[in-house]
Each structure stands twice: as C-alpha cells, then as structure tokens.
Structure 1
Amino acid sequence: MFLVGLTGGIASGKTTVSDMMREMGVPVVDADLIARQVVEPGKRAWSKIKAAFGDEVFHESGEVNRERLGQVVFADMEKRRIINKITHPEIYREIQWQVIHYLCKGEQFVVLDLPLLYESNKCTNYLFKTIVVTCEDELQLERLVSRNSYTEKEAIARIEAQMPLERKCKMADFVIENSGSKQSTRKQVEDIVKYLRSSRHHLYLRGVWGGGLVVVVAVVVGLFIYFYL
C-alpha cells in the first residue's frame, strides 16, 4: 500500500476534492475531521487546551469554541505554537492508526488529506505522490469570507498564515485547478485517481520491503520517533 498526500490552501476546494475521491471509492484520512475529534470533551487534548487557555475558548456546553480559539491563536504566534504542540501529536497518532486500518483491509493506496502538508513537513518523506488543490487568489478570498463570515482582514490573515498556493503547486506532483466548474474539477480528480489505480507502486513496495506491513511499521516508527523522542 502507498500513501498519497492531498493539500491546498484554505478555501481552495480541498474538501470538495476529497469528497469526490470518496465517492469514487478512494479511502481518505481526513486530518481536519480528526482535529475536531481529538478535542472533544474529555479527550486528552481537550484537557490540555482547558489548562492552557482557560474557559475563554470553550462553549458553555464544554465543547471547544473553535472560532474563538482560532481568533486567539491567530493573533499570537506563541499561542499558536502551544495549540499545535497540544493537538498535532494526537492528530498524527490517529492518522497512523487509520493508515494501519486501511492496510489491513488490503487497500492499494490511501489519500492523506492534510491542510498543512508542506508547512509541517511531517509526512512528505512517506508519500508516493502529492496533490495540491488551487484556485485564483480573489476567488479564495471570496470563498473564505462567505464561508466563515470573516472580515476581509481576518480572511487575509488566515490565508497568509499558510504557505502560498503558488509555492505549494511547484512542490506537487499533481495540481487540481478549482477555479472553474464542478465538472471541470471532477474530471481532473478522475484522471488522477485513474493514474493512481493504474500504478503498481504498492507491488514495488512489497517487493522491496518484503511486505506492505513493514512499510507501514516503518512509517509509524518514523513518526513516533519524530514526535515523541
């Protein structure tokens, strides 16, 4: 089994692409979804956020107020570092388990939907191919303002907190242009999925490593060493 990284800029349409891949039967590990799950009430990361940030970033129900937390950490680089230190180990631990799950199911490949794939640079060495979803700058800003009800200033701050899309595109194996119609985007996704399904890279890995399980174990051990040692 091999791993494929999917990323893009905020509001560039990465979720649209990952949803299309799921509809095509491609297994996708969604880091955004995992990020929400690891901060659910009672979870280890939830407790650490409570200790570090206090009640200010929580709803009365006890759930993390993601909007307020975002405002706090985007206004202070040190607080952003703290929240990343709390959540990232939990997120990557769950990613590892999901990858093992799909390996055991005998999947040919798995797509890792990672918003900060290049910024964090945690998984790039383990990926066979990378895909970047991009769109025109003005459209990205318009989508973000409309989707999240941000002011233009707030939206720009969040866009600029990530690596520029142009730079990500230069680093990618595939680029999906998502400024046009949904049909155009789907056609690009279909072509990439067709290419990945035609690949025999998973067989190569089995031959080199003596079995797909060894590959995943190597990934898990590598990430464990990176984060915990």
Structure 2
Amino acid sequence: MRKVGITGGPATGKSTLLRLLSRLGYPVFSADEVVRRLLAPQGQAFEKVKALCPWAVKPEGTLDRRLLLERLVQDPDLRQALEALLHPLVREELLVFFAKARKAAWAFAEIPLLFEAGWEDLFDEIWVVTCKEETQRRRLRERLGKEELVEGLLKLQWPLSQKVLWATRVFSSENTPEVWRRKLQGIFSKSRAPTGESP
C-alpha cells in the first residue's frame, strides 16, 4: 500500500482532491473531519478544550470554532496548547485508518499541517495542492471575511513555495477536476486497483 499525504495551504483545494480520490474508490482520511469530531460535545477532546478555552463555549454548549480560530492566530501559546492536545489524537486515528486500509493499493490522508507537525515520515508520497496566491486569498476572504484573519491563518503555515519543494507531486486547483482526473489516471494506470486487486 502506498500511503499518500495530501497537504497545501488553506483554501488551495485539498478537500476537492480528496473527494475526487474517494469517488475513484480509494480510502481517504481527513484530519479536519477528525478534529471536528474531536471538538464536538461528545468528542474525545471536547472537555479538555472547554477547560482550556471556556470563553469559546456557546450558550448551547458547543465550541465556537470561529472564535477559536480568531484567538489562536493571535496567541501562539494557545495554538501550541491546542496542537499539543489535538495532534496526538489525530495521529492515532490516522494510524488506525492506515491499518484498516492495508489491503488497498493506495490510501490518502489530507493533513493541512503535515510539514508543520513533522509527519513526513508517515507517508510514502506527499502531494501538495496549490493555486495562485490571489485565488487563495479570494477564497479565504469569502470564507473568513476579515482580512486580518486571512493574514493570520496564512502565517500559521509554511508558504506554499516551501511545501512544493518537498512534494512528490503537485496539483494546481487552477486546473479543472477533469485535468486532475486524467492526471490521476496516469498515476494509477501502472498500479493496482483501489482495493489491491489487479486491474
């Protein structure tokens, strides 16, 4: 099984690539989805984050993820505390995912902070999803609204130009999904089928 980490900058199109791979029949893992589950009221990290960030608890008892983001881009200590809490839990679930997918030819994990967390050794290949800077900023402004939040989020991660240097393959979301599909077909044509059988 080839273990592939998918990363890139915020709003570059990582999730789009992951959905395409899922539709092609490959097992996929999303760190963002795991974090959302961990931070839900019944999630494994909820009580600890609630104790660490009581100001982020909404009246209905859920966590205000937007407020958490606004604070952590301004507070390095808070960011480090949250990463120290969440990263081991995400890593544990990632290893379980790989174990369950061991019979597949390929398995894909979307990890936004793959390089920043130092998880390169967990993967056989690293695919980086990129786009033009103006495209990325436009998407982030549409998603976040505040320019200072856009700037803060970008500063939390390695620049795309640095991530590309460490990439096995690069996918630009300036291309259409059909271009990606053809590229993937070329990559997989010499490999086994998604489940591990010969094509």
Q: Which residue of 1 aligns with 2:61?
A: 62
- Match for residue 172 of structure 2 among 167, 172, 177: 177
What SS does structure 1 have at the residue aligned with 2:42?
Answer: coil
Distance 1:109 1:5 in 2: 11
Q: Which residue of 2 aligns with 1:144?
A: 140
> What letter is aligned with 1:6?
I
Q: Which residue of 1 aligns with 2:106?
A: 109
Q: Which residue of 2 aligns with 1:215?
A: none
* Ranges in structure 2 where 5+ consecutive residues have no aligned partner: none
Distance 1:92 1:156 in 2: 27
1:5 and 2:5 equivalent?
Answer: yes
Q: Which residue of 1 aligns with 2:51?
A: 51
> For the Cα contact (< 8 Å) 1:20–1:189, is it kept in 2?
no
Q: Which residue of 2 aligns with 1:207?
A: none
Q: Structure 1's 163 and 94: CA in aligned 2 closer, same or farther, altered over 3 A?
A: same
By how many angstroms is 1:196 displaced? 5.2
Distance 1:128 1:3 in 2: 5
Q: Structure 1's 197 and 150: CA in aligned 2 closer, same or farther, altered over 3 A?
A: farther
Q: Structure 1's 66 and 195: CA in aligned 2 closer, same or farther, altered over 3 A?
A: farther
By how many angstroms is 1:195 displaced? 5.2
Distance 2:58 2:184 in 1: 38
Give the structure with the higher percent helix. Answer: 1
Distance 2:125 2:51 in 1: 39
CA displacement, residues 115-174 of structure 1 (integer Å, 9 cap, x when unaligned): 11111112x11311110000000000001111x232222212211211010111111010
Q: Which residue of 1 aligns with 2:80?
A: 81
> What letter is aligned with 1:66?
R
Q: Structure 1's 48 and 196: CA in aligned 2 closer, same or farther, altered over 3 A?
A: farther
How high is the TM-score relative to the length of structure 1?
A: 0.79
> For the Cα contact (< 8 Å) 2:29–2:97, is it kept in 1?
yes
Q: Which residue of 2 aligns with 1:121?
A: 118
Q: Could you list the structure 1 runs, at least 4 aligned residues long, displaced by more than 6 angstroms after superposition.
A: none
* Ranges in structure 1 where 5+ consecutive residues have no aligned partner: 203-229
Distance 2:8 2:90 in 1: 18
1:186 and 2:186 equivalent?
Answer: no
Q: Structure 1's 180 and 43: CA in aligned 2 closer, same or farther, altered over 3 A?
A: closer
Distance 2:190 2:66 in 1: 38
How high is the TM-score relative to the length of structure 2?
A: 0.90
Distance 2:149 2:190 in 1: 38
By how many angstroms is 1:185 displaced? 3.2
> For the Cα contact (< 8 Å) 1:17–1:189, is it kept in 2?
no
> For the Cα contact (< 8 Å) 1:14–1:133, is it kept in 2?
yes
> For the Cα contact (< 8 Å) 1:7–1:117, is it kept in 2?
yes
Q: Structure 1's 129 and 53: CA in aligned 2 closer, same or farther, altered over 3 A?
A: same
Identical counterparts, % of pairs: 26
What SS does structure 1 have at the residue aligned with 2:127?
Answer: strand
By how many angstroms is 1:44 displaced? 3.2
> For the Cα contact (< 8 Å) 1:176–1:188, is it kept in 2?
no
